Chains A and B, each alone.
Chain A
Amino acid sequence: MKIKRNIALSDSGFVFNPTTGDSFSTNPIGIEIIKLLKEGKNEDEVKKHLIKSYMTDEVTLEKDYYDFVNMLLKLQLAEGDEDKDEAKN
């Protein structure tokens, strides 16, 4: 899963999608995840980073992480690998 290339993210957690005109706000952990995904980190790398940085267990992290990235997909802020494959075709 990748964050769409034109998504703008500010330090305050304001997220702007210039294609749809939609804007959202996210908390500091959300900012961190979006930044890591924007840098091109994959799912394992992001999860590893979060486990190291925060006092949480893998099961809780997994659940919250998928909740969050599914929301990013639903809000058209990210695209799944299958979307990209379709776009290539």
Chain B
Amino acid sequence: MKIKTKRKINVAVTGLNAIDSPGPGIPVIRALKESSEFDVHIIGLSYETLEPGIYMHDLVDKTYQIPFPSAGIESLLTRLGYINAVEKIDVLIPNFDAELFNFMKLTERLEEEMGIKMFLPTIEQFEERHKSNLAEFGKKYGIKVPHSKMIFNISDIPSLRNEFTYPLVVKGKYYDASVAYTPEQAVTCFNKISTKWGLPIIIQEFVYGQEVNVTAIGDGKGNTLGAIPMRKQYITDKGKAWAGISLEDEKLIEVTEKVIKGSKWRGGMEMEMIKTRDDEYFLIEINPRFPAWVYLAVGCGQNHPEALIKMALGEKVKPWKKYDIGKMFIRYSYDLIVGLEEFEKISTLGEL
């Protein structure tokens, strides 16, 4: 009998904040732990000391704090240099929108100087799918996009009536979105979101319909390696999916393939769409990384994070042709009991 031995690999992962607005790190790690090809040693990269993943030792073998994206690429490179000297990272998977730009800028240097591989979208792909550029993106790839406009000042809100009807959606550049039914509510949303995420604020036409999402991975040559459509069944007050179900939706898969083919998307992504009663699809957002519900893809028979590792290593991945429909995920909260000495270690030494 032939026994297949798994290849040992060291993978660094960010996004360990398994909180009410969860990062994708823990689901990505769970997917990798279930890989049939890799025996993964996980190095967690954290920004804050209370990210739950730091203390989940069954999933994360060792965690290191890294500098916030605002500290710039040189301090990130220096820190990764130290971590890599200890851990010998093979592949790194960044999972936050806000950190992606720095990692994309460092792609070549990380590979050449440290041998760390990544499989990320290009800067051009990252920029063109920005919420503020979505209208042009839609036009370029033939996808319907709700009318949207960037505003920088609260005084722009009264004149929105000339272009939009209420309700409308007020969105932050990276995160957060609220529906405003009146100009007064739009002002409140503007203040709330701009205080947290800065400017500009994006104003978007409200499209009535059902929100549907897709988690997908592109090979960078225009091919879709895998795609799973999902509908949120239980939504938190932050708009996050607490439960969801995989759908049979050929048209949505077609739209995803169209975007990936047109943009030659490289890496993981999430598309957020609105499906109207007339079966029309409007693209409301593209996230340039796996979503926090990516583990559902594994449950449906497509291990997207494993495919990403293989692509990063320059290996061929055969596209999936099918997936399980009607598979659900239900998130749960769980209290970890942590000794103060662990918290002390990550707080003072920056590693645990």
Interface residues of A (CB under 8 A from B): 6, 8, 16, 18-21
Residues of B within 8 A of A21 (CB): 230-231, 233, 244-247, 326
Q: How far is the CA of A19 from the CA of B210 in the complex (A)?
A: 11
Main secondary structure of the interface of B (DSSP, over half): strand
Query: How far does the alpha carbon of A20 sit from the alpha carbon of B249 in the complex, in Å?
Result: 8
Q: Quick one: which of B233, B244, B247 contacts A18, CB cutoff 8 A?
A: B247
Is the CB–CB distance between B326 and A20 below 8 Å? no
Residues of chain B lying within 8 A (CB to CB) of residue A16: 326
Contact of B231 with A20 in the complex, beta carbons under 8 Å: yes
Q: In the complex, what distance in Å separates the CA atom of A18 from the CA atom of B248?
A: 5
- Provide the residues of chain A in CB contact with B233, threshold 8 Å: 21
**New A-B contacts (8) at CB < 8 Å, excluding given A8-B326, A21-B230:** A16-B326, A18-B325, A19-B247, A19-B249, A20-B231, A21-B245, A21-B247, A21-B326
Whether A6 contacts B326 in the complex (CB less than 8 A), given A20-B210, A20-B231, comes out as no
Query: How many chain B residues touch A (Cβ–Cβ < 8 Å)?
Result: 12
User: Which residues 304-351 of B sit at the A interface, judged by CB distance below 8 A?
Assistant: 325-326
Q: Please, which residues of chain A bring their CB within 8 A of the CB of B326?
A: 8, 16, 18, 21
- Separation of A21 and B326 alpha carbons in the complex (Å): 7
Residue among A6, A8, A20, A21 with the most chain B CB within 10 A? A21
Q: Closest approach, in angstroms, between the C-beta of B314 and any C-beta of chain A?
A: 37
Contact partner of A20 (CB less than 8 A), chosen from B244, B246, B247, is: B247
A8 surroundings in chain B (CB, below 8 A): 326
Output the least CB separation between A62 and chain B (Å). Answer: 29
Contact flags B195-233 to A (C-beta < 8 A → 1, else 0): 000000000000000100000000000000000001101
A36 to B230, CA, bound (A): 30
Residues of B contacting A18 with CB < 8 Å?
A: 247-248, 325-326
